[in-house]
Structure 1
Amino acid sequence: MHVPSIDVAILTEDRYVTPDRNDWYQAQIAREEDLVADALAALGLRVGRRSWADPDMDWSQCRCALFRSTWDYFDRYAEFSSWLDRVAGQTRLFNAAELIRWNVDKRYLGDLQDKGVSIVPTRFVARGEVVSLADIMDAQGWDEVVFKPVVSGAARLTHRVGRATLSAHEAVFARCAADENMMVQAFEPAILSTGEVSVIVIGGRTTHAIRKTPRAGDFRVQDDHGGTVHAHAPAEDERWFAEAAVAACPVAPAYARVDFVRSADGVLRLMELELVEPELFFRFHPPAAAELAHVLAEKLR
């Protein structure tokens, strides 16, 4: 009987296979993944870290693979997509390949809205569609927007545009829309004041939350763009909102990060539902790493 050599392969990318712990960013990645690896090992599971793009890896030699810091997938999307097709037939993936495919294209927001999840008002623009930002803003009654590709991450090609800067961004938007599917969202001013809340949901249940705020003069909340992460005790409506968004997924995810903003009118609006490789901020609540380990162990039984 064939016995895989690894129970759980923690998936990273080439840059982070051997993290430089003297670099704050890579040390943070290592700490997050160490918490998961240690929790899995404590349950008697054999753990290894592998780059998803490792050409020498035999994925049939692991019982499952857990997406973590695969943060180059959107820059190598054709290669990643082919890899996903192949590996899904060789081992179990968490989250499942079906969920990954659905979630990498942010048009999933429309699916969630159809199921009653409140999202930030969004207009999707198909590749090659001829429409200007001014047309969209006029039609929707928006004075300030953010546009970005539907397949993206780390604020790639993400621009904030107001009426005063509209003419300077039209050409950029046109070039982007000629090359790939795009999305235009109403800008939520609350991002600048109270920030974006991220609720982490493991096995369908909220474990913890954080709040991200941008640095002065910016709107991007990611810490690699100067944003700041704060501990956050989720309110009851925030827990309910996050868990309802996860429950609306086509397949139940093992883990999810639900990013949303509380608008000026008090309404919670989903910004993104991260199911592929979200940072889960275990360093703010280490027991959540143990919770994820238990969910994986249960699924492997």
Structure 2
Amino acid sequence: MKTCAFLSMDSLEGYFVYDDLLYAPMAVKGWHVERVSWRAKDVDWARFDVVVIRSPWDYQQDAGAFLRCLEGIDASGAMLANSLALVRWNINKGYLRDIQQRGIAIVPSLWRDDFHLADCHSAFEHFACDELIIKPLVSANADDTYRLNRQRLQDQAALLAERFAGRAHMIQPFVPAILQEGEYSLFFFGTEYSHCIVKRPKAGDFRVQEEHGGYLQAVEPEPALLELARQTLAALPEATLYARLDYVRLADGLAVMELELIEPSLYFNMDAASPQRFVDAFVARFG
């Protein structure tokens, strides 16, 4: 039996994790799965045939150390999915500029390397909006993500200056459709579409993650959304084992919110056939 590690974190308490739904179909295909924390010391990564990045949802706390862990895995002879090159590309949200240059619509964004309150003030006029989102270019799980109107910007100016001083970040208009229609996530395993969900925040919040009280619903994507997702997948710098592509609707059409290629929840609980689709893609790639 071949061995696969699911790269995780020390403790998943308080998180919603569905990767256990893969264990049985992986075993049927001759694969034993172990969950291993990326922070574990002295791991012999060479004893694994494949390491799949699954739930290291604290990596943004020390992205440098996380990348060094992946470099060690990559050098060990174990196959890493998704690849180290793809992780390096996706770990900084500047990848959105690459996607935009390849003809894929994204949420309008301003890119900053340091925090200046005047930049935020002028962004309201730049985007012709009443609310902004500011977030780091390296982040996960909505950490250090702020929704601001003019008054909140003024009230939180000192906090924002502390959080973003010397820290690359992006400023975007808040997209109201997130509150009503929601944010769509489409899942691809290999080149094949698997399933789609829509995520909406709880009342009074704007974050759609389950950990923040977000509401999830399985849906069939409209043809235009599915086609945009296929175009987005084709625009990635290399092939993926798994991809979660997130979209929102702007006034002039659908646009990429984020592309999750490192450690996205794949919401196997939302589609009963999705674990087998993942395993089929895994086996097609790794045997």
Tell me whether the two structures share a fold, i.e. TM-score over 0.5: yes
2:186 aligns to what SS in structure 1?
strand
1:214 to 201, 220, 223: 201
Within the candidate set 14, 28, 48, 1:62 is matched to: 48
Asked if 2 retains the 8 angstrom alpha-carbon contact of 1:35 and 1:286, the reply is no
Aligned CA distance change for structure 1 residues 282 and 15 (closer, same or farther; 3 Å): same
Aligned 1:118-129 pairs, distance under 5 A: 118-127=105-114
Matched position secondary structure for 1:293: helix
The offset of 1:128, in angstroms, is 6.2
Output the CA distance in 2 between the equivalents of 1:47 and 1:6.
9
Rounded to whole Å, the distance in 2 between the matches of 1:204 and 1:172 is 43
SS at match of 2:158: helix
Listed one character per residue, the Cα deviations across residues 60-86 of structure 1 (whole Å, up to 9, x for unaligned) are 111111111110111122211211222
Structure-1 separation of matches of 2:66 and 2:96: 22
CA distance, structure 2, for counterparts of residue 275 and residue 151 of structure 1: 13
* TM-score normalised by length of structure 2: 0.94
- Which range moved further: 270-279 or 286-295? 286-295
* TM-score, length-scaled by structure 1: 0.89
The separation in 1 between residues aligned to 2:94 and 2:190, in whole angstroms, is 24
Equivalent position of 2:24 in the other structure = 38
- SS of 2:43's equivalent in the other structure is coil
After superposition, the C-alpha distances for 1:258-299 in whole angstroms (9 at most, x for unaligned) are 11112244x101100000110111111132221221222122
Question: How many pairs were matched up?
Answer: 286
Instruction: Could you list the structure 1 runs, at least 4 aligned residues long, displaced by more than 2 angstroms after superposition.
Output: 127-132, 135-143, 163-166, 169-177
Q: Which moved more, 1:124-133 or 1:153-162?
A: 124-133
TM superposition shift of 1:156: 0.7
1:41-190 maps to which residues of 2 (within 5 A)?
41-90=27-76, 91-127=78-114, 132-190=119-177
Match of 2:249 in 1: 262
**Residue 11 of structure 2 aligns to which amino acid in structure 1?**
R
Question: How far off is 1:125 after superposition?
Answer: 0.6
In structure 2, relative to structure 1, the CA distance for the partners of 1:129 and 1:165 (3 Å cut) is closer
Q: Distance in 2 between matches of 1:130 and 1:140?
A: 16
Aligned residues with identical type, % of pairs: 35
In structure 2, the residue matched to 1:8 is 4
1:177 Cα deviation from its structure 2 partner: 2.7
Unaligned runs of 5+ in 1: 20-24
**Could you tell me how far 1:252 is from its partner in structure 2?**
1.0
Are the counterparts in 2 of residues 208 and 288 from structure 1 also a CA contact under 8 Å? yes
- Indicate the RMSD between aligned Cα atoms, in angstroms: 1.8
Cα offset, 1:204, TM superposition: 1.8
